[in-house]
Structure 1
Amino acid sequence: MGDRAPDRGDAALMMDLERHRVELTGYCYRMLGSGFEAEDAVQETFVRAWRTFDTGRGPLRPWLFHLATNICLDMLRGPQRRARAMDLTSPATPGAELGPPLPPDRWIHPIPDDRALDPADQAVAKETIRLAFVTALQNLPPRQRAVLILRDVLKWTAAETAALLSTTVTSVNSTLQRARARLPAPVPPAAEVDESLLARYVSAFERYDVETLVALLHEDATMSMPPFTWWLRGRASIRAVLLAADSPCAGARLVPVRANGSPAFAQYADGKPFALDVLDIADGLIKDTTTFLDPGLFPLFGLPMSLPPAFRTEG
């Protein structure tokens, strides 16, 4: 349909809004670090667009991003930023207590790939929605964050970005330079994940085969479990903790999903939602496992709230 500007009240307006939902959700997610908040921001964007858009404003897409940016900036006025456990504490030693959980608004949350990545752009854009990158974005002041996402992720020109933010091209270029300086060096696009690696992971996890699980990890792999700040670094530490546990995941069932451009699994215990595990894979091994202990994420991923429990097997 192109970027035509429908009249307000036109029956086709909702279809035009929906056409931009995935791109807007990805933008708002990178800004906010929460799939739930991103969807709320997009819904509010659509409400405001329905009330305010007219053809005199020009194409619909820039107006939607203008509204979404202002909504996100308003939502980011709070004093705290979302983070991962690695940004909050030093790695725990085996045997350390989990400690008290932090409230949900302190954490980077996952998002399904199909909610935030356009299928045509996934090969390029998935690196910019990984948990580590989204976490790094949260370290930027909100306007720097918006400029960097618009320019480096969505590939808007400096002039387009300046018009959206009601500022100058010089200001946009200066802000982008400062934002880039605060981010870590870009990570090269990851290779396609070896499906046999994921199959071995699922088999070992469901059998609680610690030695096989550990063999699939990088030497300096990390493991965390939001909402706890407790996290581990290193294959040896992870092995020690898994061996000391009383086979808590034996008999669990993993259902594959995609989150943040990465392979992920919904974990069911006794047929009930328990956690969402997001894996970061590099060089054919698992580099990071983030286990979100929040069954409330399951509806966001379109997952059922019950499954028949898996039969426990030996070996």
Structure 2
Amino acid sequence: MTDARPPGDDEATFIAAVRSDDTATFALLTERHRRELQVHCYRMLANYEDAQDMTQETFLRAWNKRESFKGHATLRTWLYRIATNACLDFLDKRNDRTPVPAELLNLQPYPDRMLPEDPQDSVVARETIELAFIVAVQHLPPRQRAVLILRDVLGWPASKAADALELTVASVTSALQRARVTMREQLPGRRLDWRSPATHELSDDERGVVKSYIDAHERNDLDGLMALLRDDLRFAMLPDPGTLIVTARDAVDGWVSGGLFQRGHDDWRCVATTVNRMPAAAMYLRAPGDAEYRLFAIAVLHIVDGKIAELTGFDAAGKPWLGLPPVIGQVPNVTEVTGE
């Protein structure tokens, strides 16, 4: 490791645990970093379930390589290095089967309840976990992706990132420059300085739009729903391919023709929530003759000046990691977006 330093308490304890094959202490010290490592893997892979798998792979590799840890870098740095390379290996295999644009079909939302608990940690800065940022990162080649995340999100110096990726400092610097250009192309009109501290809180404006969106759905008020959408709406319903820029009217007409609203008489109940530190609505649909409302989808909203500028829908059924009840029996008493 290039950031040589005397071992701290955790590092010294870890080394002692390795020497004595103390699996309990090994697990205790590494488990502290699970949530932030999982977020790191999610940024690399854009898929919550894959991020879970690669975090577990990180711990397995750490155990298998435990004797290589000498305490010259922090335990956290060592684990991030292993996680980054586990993700790169995963991407190398996945890209043999999947074209890069099709990778976005793997995009999944990230439940806020699984984010690290420290609200000041740059690991969970809102700009670096929102869907637009995650999608933009996926347009980078894997090693540029790793460089951008290590340097600009985690704030690692070039020498530390180079050591983790077994690259030269010059190669890391060049990759970062190219990655920043691509990110600015993929995030037009967005706040691009994702390295600055940012608020995690939803605004009153965002909460109000979510409430109106839910009200319109539950009343089957298609005009009210359309009034919430910007005319240059960006819409995607994954895993269907592509993000469409459509008018509000085209979006609503498409939902009706696609069966999402059956002649305006579908029976919806919605629950306000957050994923990726973004406002969202969990959508529950009651089929004719069914006594319960069943989880159907989650709509993630990017709101600008009181209007929905981007709406990304995800199939939510059968995904317990979202932390949403699979069925609800009555209208929930939701007065504000949860998770705040």
Q: TM-score range by the shorter chain?
A: 0.7 to 0.9
* 2-structure distance, mates of 1:257, 1:81: 33
Distance between the aligned counterparts of 2:215 and 2:106, measured in 1?
Answer: 29
Match of 1:192 among 203, 211, 219: 203
8 A contact 2:123–2:153 mirrored in 1: no
1:33 to 46, 59, 62: 46
1:4 is aligned to 2:10 = yes
Alignment of 1:145-294 (within 5 A): 145-184=145-184, 187-188=190-191, 192-194=203-205, 195-229=207-241, 231=244, 233-242=246-255, 245-247=261-263, 250-270=266-286, 271-294=293-316
Residue number in structure 2 paired with 1:111: 110
Structure 2 Cα separation of the partners of residues 261 and 82 of structure 1: 26
> Quick one: distance in 2 between partners of 1:192 and 1:122?
20
For the residues of structure 2 that align with 1:35 and 1:295, how far apart are their CA atoms? 15
The alignment partner of 2:108 has SS state of: coil
Aligned partner letter, 1:260: N
C-alpha separation in 2, matches of 1:130 and 1:3: 35
Q: Whole-Å Cα distance in 2 between the matches of residues 26 and 3 of structure 1?
A: 25
Identity of aligned residues (%): 40
What per-residue deviation string (whole Å, max 9, x for no partner) do you get for residues 129-159 of structure 1? 2222111111111000000011111111111
Structure 2 unaligned residues grouped into runs of 5+? 1-7, 192-197, 287-292, 333-340
Instruction: Sort the Cα spacing of 1:60 and 1:110 in 2 relative to 1 into closer, same or farther, 3 A.
Output: same
SS at match of 2:10: coil
Per-residue CA deviation, residues 176-220 of structure 1 (Å, 9 max, x unaligned), is: 111112222662268725222221111111111111111111121
TM-score by length of structure 1 reads 0.82
Matched, 1:66 2:81: yes
Mapped to 1, the partners of 2:112 and 2:317 lie a distance apart of 18
**Residue equivalent to 1:56:** 70
Q: What displacement does 1:275 show?
A: 1.0
Query: Unaligned 5+ residue runs, structure 1?
Result: 89-103
Deviations 1:108-145 (A, max 9, x none): 11111232455323797211122221111111110000
Alignment partner, residue 97 of structure 1: none
CA distance in 1, matches of 2:46, 2:144: 15
The SS at the match of 2:274 is strand
- Does 1 or 2 have the higher relative contact order (CA < 8 Å, sep 6+)? 1
Matching residue of 1:98:
none
Pairwise CA RMSD: 2.7
Q: 1-side partners of 2:39 and 2:279: how far apart?
A: 18
Aligned partners of 2:232 and 2:245 also within 8 Å = no
